[in-house]
Chains A and B, each alone.
Chain A
Amino acid sequence: MLLKEGQVRIPAGCAISGIFHKDGKKENGERIIKSISTMHDRSNGLGGGFAAYGIYPDFKNDYAFHIFYDSNRAKDECETYLKENFDIIAMAKIPTRRHPRITDEPMIFRYFVQPLQTVLAFSQLDEKEFVVRKVIHANHNIKGAYIFSSGKNVGVFKASGFPEDVGEYYMLENYEAYSWTCHGRYPTNTPGWWGGAHPFALLDTTVVHNGEISSYDANRRFIEMFGYSCDLLTDTEAITYIVDYLNRRIGLNYSEIANVIAAPFWSTIEKKPEEEKKRLTYLRNAFASLLVTGPFSILVGFEGGMMALNDRLKLRSMVVGEKDETVYIASEECAIRIMQPEFDKIYAPRGGEPVILTLNKGGNAQ
């Protein structure tokens, strides 16, 4: 029997692309779809997806849950669970258009929620931790339900199919975002479950990832100590949890996170000035089990920013182009040239050296 994703670990190769407007200007999903479609051959039609930031200005203070349901039973069960813990401000089917190449679709719903204050107070958790635990609990325990997007003013849209088809299917031309990331997947074998597509998300952290990490089980077994549950057995899910843990729980900033997950080699650290050497040694030693090895290039989206990062040997390609206040990042240069033929600056970041983009002060991303 062919095992479903989550029952077996499936390695994958891929393509990624991203757009970030530092001035907070928004654009719809058309250009990012065009970008990922140029790298069609890097995907094999078994998974594509997008993350878009700033798309829910009317609900910007509510957690936006995007959920796949396999059945009405799963939907009932999940909604009961949600109602026990959250105030549901609004809910609706996520609009999609019929698409010849997107089939076997689950039910896809969107909920804007607020934690129930009494339940939250009783849990003695801070609000974000409360939301995280509920999301992980639902994904781990409710069969046939999968919350694949859970941040504020951000949404993940993904499916089994080629990414450009997925974009059309979700009608991304109707969403305006200051930051877009997207992903085309090339899993080596998969029954093509929708949940297995990228981006992976937890709260406002979303990750698209190209590569296969060799440290997977070391990372997974470590991060699961802290209440995360890597149910899908994919690298990207683990990376998402690692970033969430280091940022939200530990308090590291994104450049420090890069120094942990793509830590410089000891021989490189050795050559740094004393202070920097101490800092890097500390980060590498204190969070040793979260070092990620093997090839990867990732785009991490977060509220108000984006980080692009390559593994420390740079075993996966990635190109960054800057034009005015907009930054374009993709696995291949053609994928950014199609969005923007001319750049003020174009470069390939070195392995382990993060490109961290944030909104300019006063940049309006609402």
Chain B
Amino acid sequence: MNMLYPQFEVIRNPSRCINCRACERQCANEVHGYDENLKIMTCDESKCVNCHRCVAICPTRALKIVKTDHTFKENANWTEKAITEIYRQAETGGVLLSSMGNPEQHPIYWDKILINASQVTNPSIDPLREPMETKTFLGKKPGKIERDENGNLIDNLPPHIELNMPVMFSAMSYGSISYNAHAALAKAARELGICYNTGEGGLHKDFYEYGENTIVQVASGRFGVHTDYLNAGAAIEIKMGQGAKPGIGGHLPGIKVGADISKTRMIPEGTDAISPAPHHDIYSIEDLRQLVYSLKEATNYKKPIMVKIAAVHNVSAIASGVARSGADIICIDGYRGGTGAAPTRIRDSVGIPIELALAAVDQRLRDEGIRDKVSIVVGGSIRNSSDLMKAILLGADACYIATAALLALGCHLCRTCQTGKCNWGIATQREDLVKRLNPEVGAKRLVNLVTAWNHELEEMMGGMGINSIEALRGNRLMLRGIGLTQKELDILGIKHAGE
């Protein structure tokens, strides 16, 4: 007996299907089959994760996946989701696992914030005729000048990252995503003049050549961390937390640790790669300071150090501590941020929205007069260029995107990355699946996406009479809230529309 009724139905239009069996070959979840006797395609929809691979590949558009209308007796409290989760746990006794970001119906503040434009008193600027500048530097500002004996200014800027536009690809480890996905991200980052992030799985030797466009991550598992690695990138990111699973570590199952990953992560083949929940050498803020400075020592003070934290309740106090720990850049990951795998309960109910976290942190650092001592990068569901724009207006220096980048590579947000059977060649290590993602094509699509966003950003900047990203950062007067309470407006530091 199985109490779980399949979530989706695979609908095949028999008048269109030509029995080419392409869907059968493409579905790693083994949904489709072929009945040799009856000469018809069959399917087991219980295995379907709704990733649309078969739909996209079917030459006659014979397939569609629909949500089943099979239903429980309606109950606003005991929803279908609540009930089936109980069945699953009663069956397995395990922690529920999910992937990608929090899909729950919480408010999306980006959608309740509106952007300003110039009228009459201040001309808008046509981005097609006038320069529109999106070049961004991340890192500390010196806050004072020094001059040589001739009175010329000395460059006393601490190390920083230079980006052509205020966007970076967020951390996704080699292991959680495929070699080809990494290759696409690295190539695109180089072409765009931005950075991608290795995640916590080390850096494959093939990708050292993209160093200038790479952020190397040091996480609690310290996988693949060695001197060359630390010096290979444009910056080093210490991962303290992740928006999708604040407070807990990571787990890459042994079956995904093949020869290549084993080498890159510096762990034996086939062993589970477990990142502990805390860094076992960081139990407090002074310990973080030590790690920040050890990494600076290891890289001769040439690389900015980033510290990534999850957006939790007291994020502004934490960020203030991080800013004083010597970190050059703080990365804040909101609770809608993606993940390869996280316990469902944590993903869906721990952490806070990035919009509120960003607004609180930016204001707190200003109140303490140290906003200039650190750059702020935010991620955790930046879905389009207006989210990006709003984030910068609230006070971010740049944004991290990951889910959006994976979508550009073909991800269909089926949220089953944890199974390792990604039909799109992204969250998988199965060679036949990885092959489906062509790094050149993937890179092109990423370049297209970010370039398009940048154009849109320029259009909106021009509309508000701003021709440089610096003048956008923290310019909250350009934002208005809609349908927000006074408390929410206060936290966001913006006025309501009409005010």
Q: Are B121 and A212 in contact (CB under 8 A)?
A: yes
Q: Are A266 and B372 in contact (CB under 8 A)?
A: no
Question: B371 near A: Cβ within 8 Å?
Answer: yes
Question: A222 near B: Cβ within 8 Å?
Answer: yes
Whole-angstrom CA separation of A294 from B472 in the bound complex: 12
Question: A107 near B: Cβ within 8 Å?
Answer: no
Q: Which of B118, B142, B371, B477 contacts A225 (CB 8 A)?
A: B371
Q: Which residues of A contact B153 (CB under 8 A)?
A: 256, 279, 282-283
Whole-angstrom CA separation of A313 from B121 in the bound complex: 16
Q: Which residue of B lies closest to A251 (CB)?
A: B145
Q: Are B366 and A221 in contact (CB under 8 A)?
A: yes
Whole-angstrom CA separation of A256 from B470 in the bound complex: 18
Q: Which residue of B lies closest to A265 (CB)?
A: B131
If A251-B145, A282-B157, A292-B471 touch, does A9 touch B122 (CB 8 Å cutoff)? no
Q: Which residues of A contact B120 (CB under 8 A)?
A: 188
Q: Which of B135, B141, B473 contacts A286 (CB 8 A)?
A: B141
Q: Which residue of B lies closest to A283 (CB)?
A: B153
Q: Are A218 and B121 in contact (CB under 8 A)?
A: no
Closest Cβ of chain B: how far from A99's Cβ, in Å? 29
Those of B115-156 within 8 Å (CB) of chain A: 118, 120-123, 125, 130-131, 133, 135, 137, 141-142, 144-145, 152-153, 155
Question: B468 near A: Cβ within 8 Å?
Answer: yes
Bits for A222-237, please: 1 = Cβ < 8 Å to B, else 0: 1011100000000000
Q: Which of A211, A221, A289 contacts B470 (CB 8 A)?
A: A289
Q: Are B145 and A293 in contact (CB under 8 A)?
A: no
Known: A212-B122, A315-B123. 10 other contacts (CB 8 A): A13-B121, A214-B466, A214-B471, A214-B475, A217-B478, A218-B472, A224-B366, A251-B144, A252-B145, A285-B141
Whole-angstrom CA separation of A360 from B466 in the bound complex: 38
Q: Which residue of A lies closest to B154 (CB)?
A: A282
Q: Which residues of A contact B279 (CB under 8 A)?
A: none
Q: Are A313 and B145 in contact (CB under 8 A)?
A: no
Q: Which residues of B contact A9 (CB under 8 A)?
A: 477
Question: B476 near A: Cβ within 8 Å?
Answer: yes
| 17 A-B pairs with C-beta separation under 8 A | A9-B477, A217-B477, A225-B366, A256-B153, A266-B131, A267-B131, A286-B141, A286-B145, A289-B473, A291-B468, A291-B471, A293-B465, A293-B466, A293-B467, A293-B468, A294-B465, A294-B466
Those of B450-485 within 8 Å (CB) of chain A: 464-468, 470-478
Those of B320-379 within 8 Å (CB) of chain A: 366, 369-372
Question: A216 near B: Cβ within 8 Å?
Answer: yes
- Give A residues with C-beta under 8 Å from B: 9, 11-13, 188, 211-212, 214-219, 221-222, 224-226, 250-252, 256, 263, 265-267, 278-279, 282-289, 291-295, 312-313, 315
What are the 9 closest A-B residue pairs judged by CB atoms, nearest first?
Answer: A215-B471, A217-B477, A218-B475, A214-B465, A293-B471, A11-B121, A212-B122, A288-B470, A291-B470
Total chain B interface residues with beta-carbon distance under 8 A: 40
Q: Which residue of A lies closest to B155 (CB)?
A: A282
Whole-angstrom CA separation of A218 from B342 in the bound complex: 38
Q: Which residue of B lies closest to A226 (CB)?
A: B369
Q: Which residues of B contact A219 (CB under 8 A)?
A: 471
Closest Cβ of chain A: how far from B218's Cβ, in Å? 26
Q: Which residue of A lies closest to B371 (CB)?
A: A225
Question: B160 near A: Cβ within 8 Å?
Answer: yes
Closest Cβ of chain B: how far from A248's Cβ, in Å? 13
Whole-angstrom CA separation of A315 from B470 in the bound complex: 19
Q: Are B145 and A288 in contact (CB under 8 A)?
A: no
Closest Cβ of chain A: how far from B326's Cβ, in Å? 19
Closest Cβ of chain A: how far from B364's Cβ, in Å? 12
Whole-angstrom CA separation of A256 from B152 in the bound complex: 11
Q: Which residue of B lies closest to A315 (CB)?
A: B123
Q: Are B118 and A217 in contact (CB under 8 A)?
A: no
Q: Taking each of A11, A214, A225, which has the highest tally of chain B beta carbons within 10 Å of its own beta carbon?
A: A214
If A12-B121, A287-B141, A295-B122 touch, does A214 touch B474 (CB 8 Å cutoff)? no
Q: Which residues of A contact B395 (CB under 8 A)?
A: 221
Those of B271-305 within 8 Å (CB) of chain A: none
Q: Are A286 and B474 in contact (CB under 8 A)?
A: no
Q: Which of B130, B145, B366, B472 contacts A250 (CB 8 A)?
A: B145
Whole-angstrom CA separation of A13 from B118 in the bound complex: 14
Q: Are B142 and A266 in contact (CB under 8 A)?
A: no
Closest Cβ of chain A: how far from B157's Cβ, in Å? 6
Q: Which residue of B lies closest to A313 (CB)?
A: B130
Q: Which residues of A contact B472 (CB under 8 A)?
A: 215, 218
Q: Which residue of B lies closest to A256 (CB)?
A: B153
Whole-angstrom CA separation of A252 from B147 in the bound complex: 10
Q: Which residue of A lies closest to B144 (CB)?
A: A250
Whole-angstrom CA separation of A225 from B370 in the bound complex: 8
Q: Are B122 and A218 in contact (CB under 8 A)?
A: no
Q: Which residues of A contact B122 (CB under 8 A)?
A: 11, 211-212, 214, 294-295
Q: Which residue of B lies closest to A187 (CB)?
A: B121
Q: Which residues of B contact A13 (CB under 8 A)?
A: 121
Closest Cβ of chain A: how far from B324's Cβ, in Å? 15
Whole-angstrom CA separation of A9 from B372 in the bound complex: 25
Q: Which residues of A contact B144 (CB under 8 A)?
A: 250-251
Q: Which residue of B lies closest to A278 (CB)?
A: B155
Q: Are B476 and A217 in contact (CB under 8 A)?
A: yes
Q: Which residue of B lies closest to A186 (CB)?
A: B121
Q: Which residues of A contact B470 (CB under 8 A)?
A: 215, 218, 284, 288-289, 291
Q: Are A214 and B155 in contact (CB under 8 A)?
A: no
Whole-angstrom CA separation of A2 from B19 in the bound complex: 74
Q: Are A289 and B157 in contact (CB under 8 A)?
A: no
Q: Are B123 and A295 in contact (CB under 8 A)?
A: yes
Those of B367-413 within 8 Å (CB) of chain A: 369-372, 395
Whole-angstrom CA separation of A267 from B130 in the bound complex: 11
Whole-angstrom CA separation of A285 from B136 in the bound complex: 9
Closest Cβ of chain A: how far from B229's Cβ, in Å? 27
Q: Which residue of A lies closest to B476 (CB)?
A: A217
